[in-house]
Amino acid sequence: MSLGLVAPLLAQAQPVSGLYIAGGGGATWLQDADLTPRSGLALAGAGTGSASFNTGYTVVGSLGWGYGNGFRAEIEGNYHRNDVDEVSGFGALPRPLSSSGHHRSYAAMANLFYDFIIPDAPVIPYLGAGLGYGWTNYETVRVRGANGTALEIIGTEGRFAYQGIAGLAVPIAASPGLSLTAEYRYFGTLEPSLATTYISAATGTRRISTETQVNTHSVLLGLRYAFNAPRPVAPVAVAPAPAAAPAPARTYLVFFDFDRADLTDRARQIIAEAAQAVTTTGTTRIEVAGHADRSGTPQYNQRLSQRRAEAVAAELSRRGIARSQMSIQAFGESRPLVPTADGVREPQNRRVEIVLR
């Protein structure tokens, strides 16, 4: 699919503000783990072993809060599973005949992220790190040697957990607040110690403790939904002109300081003149239209122009003009009085137009 076809589907990058939920899943690779006897029977001459694993899967789910400045904090639950490929080593287990079992881990994490907001970019890169508590489970991990010696590890133990995350979010224009995500994650815990059964002709059945490691690498695809994402403002329908020639419209311009929606003394004076003209001319329709310059994102400027229009309408109401007479609209940066490049602060574009018809 060409970029020209994809571009309309993507929304402009903006920081997450407020509550969001996220989830995802994908492939996970568990690094080979050393298996070291730590307590119980000392395996004479056995030394340590190691376990290798097949590619597995992981799923994550999280609930978070965006602070509107690129930072996000969240709580997360995750689950990893990998099947055992082979258990080897242990001098007492020569020429292993078979290996089987599963490795599972699940954790509760607290994460902190930073989103890198790039103006006009269709994607948001982000980095994150997390701390929490994770449980490691060896589900019937068995190895059998050619001499009848066998080892079986079955157990679960919790340890301090940590992770690092790098990802990309792609906002979807058709559904404000929804983003596709792609992530790489490294997840690990402090070394758990698991219950182990050791069987040999020389010693019989013994119970020991085996220490291992958890180091996983995952690639995930997911979705994130922010509940407070700004919605596009629906265009306000303009009533058709009557058949008779309309009376000349009167326009009053109210200007605002940069990134402000409060009224200055001069602004109140202009609004007072417009209110007086309504009563003396018999005006039946009043249009109040808010505008912004091109400094900032289009979404932010849309909201700013709406606040400016509402501030002027409130002042007109205070001066005796019924809100039922007003048509209140917000155009953001889309209708500049003075055309400028993106990002330029232009005082004449920071305005509300009061049109008496």
Give residue-wise pLDDT tens across range 197-252: 777 666 677 777 888 999 999 999 999 999 987 665 555 666 666 655 555 778 89
Q: What is the pLDDT of residues 118-128, one digit of tens each?
A: 887 889 999 99
Q: What share of the chain is helix, strand, coil (3-state, %, to 5)?
A: 15, 50, 35
Q: Lowest-pLDDT range, 25-34, 105-114, 126-135, 138-147?
A: 138-147
How far CA 161 is from CA of 186, 193, 216, 275, 314, in Å, comes to: 11, 15, 12, 65, 54
pLDDT in tens, 303-333: 999 999 999 999 999 988 888 889 999 999 9
318, 321, 323, 324: CA torsion to nearest 10? 160
Report the sign of the C-alpha dihedral through residues 59, 64, 67, 71, in that order.
negative
How wide is the angle at C-alpha 269 spanned by C-alphas 285 and 265, nearest 5°? 130
* DSSP-derived secondary structure for 228-251: TPPPPPPPPPPPPPPSSPPPPPEE
Length of the chain: 357
- How confident is the model at residue 195, as a pLDDT? 83
In 48-97, which ranges are continuous DSSP H helix?
none
Inter-residue contact 32 to 190 (CB < 8 Å):
no
**The architecture CATH gives domain 250-356:** 2-Layer Sandwich (3.30)
Query: Pick from 136, 135, 141, 140: which is nearest to 50 by CA?
Result: 141
What are the extents of the domains in the chain? Answer: 3-226, 250-356
Reported as a pLDDT band with limits 50, 70 and 90, residue 1 is very low
Tell me the whole-structure pTM to 2 decimals. 0.60
What's the rounded mean pLDDT across residues 182-196? 93
- What percentage of the chain reaches a pLDDT higher than 90? 52
Residue 213 one-letter amino acid = Q
User: Does domain 3-226 correspond to CATH entry 2.40.160.20?
Assistant: yes
Highest-pLDDT range among 1-15, 41-55, 129-143 = 129-143
Q: Residue 272 burial (CB < 10 Å; 0-12/13-18/19+)? A: middle
pLDDT band at 10, cuts 50/70/90? low
Tell me the per-residue pLDDT of 158-172, one tens digit each, with 9 for 90 and over. Answer: 999 999 999 999 999
Would you say 113 and 69 are in contact if contact means Cβ atoms under 8 Å apart? Answer: no
Q: Which pLDDT value is given to residue 77?
A: 97
Rama region for 45: left / alpha / beta (φ>0; ψ in -120 to 50; rest):
left
